Chain A
Amino acid sequence: MKKILLWGGLGLLLVFLSIGLYRSQQGQVGIGETAPDFELISFSGEKYQLSDYQGSVVVVNFWASWCESCKPEAKDLELAYQFYLNRGDVIFLGVDYVDIEPDARGYLEEFGVTYPNGPDLRTEISQAYRVRGVPETFIIDQKGIISHVQIGPYSSLEHIKSTIDPLLD
């Protein structure tokens, strides 16, 4: 009985360690996987539910005001948003990762960002997408499947368009 308890305890401990190790090695949610659903409450208080946008291409950009490498792509993302705005089937959502609101608002104002942005409260969205840093951008197709993962900043507007256009008619 003692031996069973001892080996059982050791086995349980190994299972916990394995799960922890597996989760830490998993990396971001990958291409071909279903995009985890989330609710984003924007800085202006509106709610955005990812699952409401089935049928549209969704661009989910993780950023932060303290992130230097997020700044060069901020304007390009806004330009891309303006470019697709009239089509109505490309949605842009900005998720502000581990940030403070006044600085985040200042950042959005500085770069003239007008598409919906909101804080990642309790880091639930970034944990669901297993974000390892910022900026990271996920392009989600009309069926809710991740079609592109951009680790680090986009280099230009053309770069952004090259990851969206193949999904559009």
Chain B
Amino acid sequence: MIQKIQRSRWWILALVLLISLIPFSAFAQGSDPTDDDVNEVARQLYCPVCENIPLDACGTTACEQWRGIIRDKLSEGWTADEIKTYFVNQYGDRVLAEPPRRGFNWVVYLVPAVIFVGGGFLFYRGFQQWRSPEQNRKDRKKEKVTPKPAKPSENDISRVEEELRKRSQG
């Protein structure tokens, strides 16, 4: 009986230890984001100081500061979207790798599609024109018709006979 009670105590102690570890491990994960976690957010942002270089690849002091902010925000439990919103509020839409789909920004998304479709259309037209001379020649051969001799009228026949008669007499 005593042994049973002691065993159940150990089980309870183990359970309490296990439960206490769960929040602790979550806190540790939140407080110490890895470089990969930071870069995952950073590659979605561009610092205005270094144009055309994503934040995760930029080596300037300003970019280092920004990555520091991302690290701090992640450790405070912010999501990637919340961090991006923070940077947009501070520095404007131009910090985003992907401009938000609204207003004039639509040009960025529509122009490549229009170019692609227009290019496809031009290619199709060009391809058609490139084939058409051969096709036309074949078509022309098919359509070549020998003109039917016109049936001479009685008047014409009599004039020809008259002419022939004059020549044979002369």
Chain A interfacial positions (CB closer than 8 Å to B): 6, 9-10, 13, 16, 64-66, 68, 98-100, 103, 119, 121-124, 127, 133
User: Helix, strand, loop or mixed for chain A's interface?
Assistant: helix
| Residues A6 and B118 in contact in the complex (CB < 8 Å), given A122-B90, A123-B92 | yes
* A-B pairs with beta carbons under 8 A, tally: 47
- Given that A98-B47, A123-B48 are contacting pairs, would A66 and B92 also be in contact in the complex, using a CB cutoff of 8 Å? no
User: What 4 pairs across the A-B complex have the smallest Cβ distances?
Assistant: A66-B61, A122-B92, A66-B62, A123-B92
| Partner of B60 from A16, A66, A121, A124 at Cβ < 8 Å | A66
> Are B91 and A16 within 8 A (Cβ)?
no
Partner of B49, one of A13, A98, A121, A124: A98
Q: Chain B residues with Cβ under 8 A from A10's Cβ?
A: 118
> Does B138 interact with chain A (Cβ within 8 Å)?
no
In this assembly, does B2 line the interface, its C-beta being within 8 Å of a C-beta of chain A? no
Q: SS class of chain B's interface: helix, strand, loop or mixed?
A: helix
Asked if A9 contacts B118 (CB within 8 A), the reply is yes
Total contacting residues, chain B, CB less than 8 A: 24
Neighbouring A residues of B122 by C-beta, 8 Å: 6
| Cβ of A67 to closest chain B Cβ, rounded Å | 8
Once the chains bind, are A98 and B118 in contact (CB under 8 Å)? no
Is the CB of B22 closer than 8 A to any CB of chain A? no
User: Please, which residue of chain A has its CB at the minimum distance from the CB of B104?
Assistant: A16
- Give residues in B with beta carbon < 8 Å to A: 47-49, 60-62, 64-66, 68-69, 88-92, 94, 107, 111, 114-115, 118, 121-122
In-complex Cβ contact of B89 among A6, A16, A103, A122 (8 A): A122
**In the assembled complex, which residues on chain B have CB atoms less than 8 Å from the CB atom of A66?**
60-62, 64-65
Q: Of the candidates A9, A65, A98, A119, which one forms a contact with B48 in the assembled complex, judged by CB atoms under 8 Å apart?
A: A98
CB neighbours (8 Å) of A127 from chain B are 92
A51 and B58 CA atoms in complex are apart in Å by: 37
Taking CB atoms, residues of chain A closer than 8 Å to B107 are: 16
How far is B65's CA from A16's CA once the two chains are assembled, in angstroms? 34
Give the residue name and chain of the A residue nearest to B107 (CB): A16
Contact A13 B65 (CB under 8 A): no
Pick the residue among A13, A64, A68, A99 that contacts B115 (CB under 8 A).
A13
How long is the Cα–Cα vector from A133 to B115 in the complex, in angstroms? Answer: 34
Q: Knowing that A100-B65, A127-B92 are A-B contacts, what are 16 other residue pairs whose CB atoms are under 8 Å apart, sorted by A's residue number?
A: A6-B118, A10-B118, A13-B114, A16-B107, A66-B60, A66-B62, A66-B64, A68-B61, A98-B62, A100-B66, A103-B65, A121-B89, A121-B90, A122-B89, A123-B48, A124-B92
Judging by beta carbons under 8 Å apart, are A13 and B111 in contact?
yes
* Chain B residues whose C-beta falls within 8 Å of the C-beta of A9 in the assembled complex: 114, 118
Whether B90 and A16, one on each chain, are in contact in the complex, defined by CB atoms closer than 8 angstroms, is no
Residues of B within 8 A of A133 (CB): 49
